[in-house]
Amino acid sequence: MYDNKKVVIIGTGFVGMSCAYSLLNQNACDELVLIDINSEKARGEAMDLNHSLAFSPAEMKIYSGKYSDCRDADIIVIAAGVNQKEGETRIDLLKRNKNVFQSIIQPVIDSGFEGIFLIATNPVDIMSYITKDLSGFDKSKVIGTGTSLDTARLRYLLGHFLDISPKNIHAYVLGEHGDSEMITWSQATAGTKPILSICKDSLALEKIANDVKYAANEIIKAKNATYYGIGMALVRIIKAILNNENSIITVSAYLDGEFGFRGIYAGVPSVINRDGVREIVEIKFADNEFCKFTESCNFLKSTIDKIKN
């Protein structure tokens, strides 16, 4: 039987539409539905994308839709919400975005949707937790983009520094997608070589870590929002799901005892396939790294405790 790969994007702003445009250019699905509280915006975006089909590698059906269109979707991407302002922390966004999610998740559930939620809205680890809580879905079916973008930034910056393609850099940013995120330097390699053995310049590595952490602030300062990177990160995760890849990506996944944490979402290396998160890959941290990862998870736990009360 023909397997129609269907993706719905809720929130057709910069992030949602960067995802849509990347899906189209990478021919990543067969049907793409756009939903926004501003239905005119979604309608105009669908028209604009449809006008590029003649030049695209894809035969994609694209339209602006309603929540009832979510019923037979494979993946719902949520990129709806308010954007991070200069100087505003991701946690500051939480209250406003929680209200937005309350108005989205229920109509999606009412449609009969049984696929996978993929969350981009910030603070993404907390919004993923809220989605799991509001939907009642299994932990494997609610995924956040987590530190996938931060990991891509690290791979780019390390590759640039070492003059090696980012595709051959294996290095991970874990924990919160935000200020408490951390890098597992002890596990980082360029091809077969450990980064710590080929680069003795600890100040340079520290600068790279800071540039990764503050990249979003820097971009927001320059152009008000970040979207191409996250659009591509979303498509990377979508392809891993739709093509049943079993790829390891640092998404935000629900910790259920892994690394000693339970009941939070955090960026961790996870095996992604048609069922969502198949499993979380545990890491042997260096001692100082485990402390940083624990601090980051404790911060996420305390934020969740605040929204529960």
Catalytic residue list: 177
* Position among 10, 105, 212, 283 found at the interface with ligand NAD (CB under 6 A): 10
Q: Which of 111, 135, 145, 270 binds ligand NAD (CB under 6 A)?
A: 145
Minimum CB distance to ligand NAD smaller for 115 or for 178: 178
The site that binds ligand NAD (CB under 6 A) totals a number of residues, namely: 30
Neighbour-count burial of 236, counting CB atoms closer than 10 A to its CB (0-12 exposed, 13-18 middle, 19+ buried): buried
> Quick one: which segment of 13-21, 66-74, 153-161, 204-212 binds ligand NAD (CB under 6 A)?
13-21
Comparing CB distances to ligand NAD, the nearer of 174 and 230 is 230
Restricted to residues 270-309, the positions that interact with ligand NAD (CB under 6 A) are: none
How many Cβ atoms sit within 10 Å of the Cβ of residue 110?
12
Choosing from 34, 120, 212, 280, the residue that interacts with ligand NAD (CB under 6 A) is: 120
Measured from the CB atom, the residue of 195 and 249 that comes closer to ligand NAD is: 249
The residue within the footprint of ligand NAD, chosen from 6, 7, 9, 13 (CB under 6 A), is: 13
Query: Which residue is it, tokens 């028209």?
Result: 47
C-beta of residue 246 within 8 angstroms of C-beta of residue 274:
no
Identity of residue 225: A
Q: 116-119 and 75-78: which strand pairing? A: parallel
Query: What minimum distance in Å lies between the beta carbon of 177 and ligand NAD?
Result: 6
Q: Considering the rule CB under 6 A, would residue 215 count as an interface residue with ligand NAD?
A: no
202 exposed, middle or buried (CB, 10 Å; 0-12, 13-18, 19+)? exposed
- Residues 71-90, interacting with ligand NAD (CB under 6 A): 79-81, 83-84
- Least CB distance from residue 71 to ligand NAD, whole Å? 18
Structure tokens belonging to residue 219: 């971009």
Contact mark string toward ligand NAD, 163..202, x via CB under 6 A: --------------x-------------------------
Question: Measured between alpha carbons, how far is 11 from 114 in angstroms, rounded to an integer?
Answer: 20
| Distances in whole angstroms, Cα of residue 290 to Cα of each of 18, 52, 150, 271, 287 | 34, 48, 18, 21, 5
Residue 15 sits in the site that holds ligand NAD (CB under 6 A): yes
The interface region with ligand NAD, picked from 97-105, 180-188, 200-208, 237-245 by CB under 6 A, is 97-105
Tokens of 244: 């049943």
Write the CA distances from 232 to 105, 224, 274, integer angstroms: 24, 19, 19
CB of 8 vs ligand NAD, minimal distance in Å: 11
Name which of 244, 269, 19 is nearest 151 in CA terms.
269
In this chain, which of 4, 27, 37, 223 binds ligand NAD, going by CB under 6 A?
37
Exposure string over 184-194, b if 16+ CB within 10 A, otherwise e: bbebbebeeee
Residue 117 found at the interface with ligand NAD (CB under 6 A): no
Closest CB 3 distance from ligand NAD, rounded Å: 28
Residue 280, classed as helix, strand or coil, is strand
Residues that bind ligand NAD (CB under 6 A): 10-16, 36-38, 41, 79-81, 83-84, 100, 103-104, 120-122, 124, 145, 149, 177, 225-227, 230
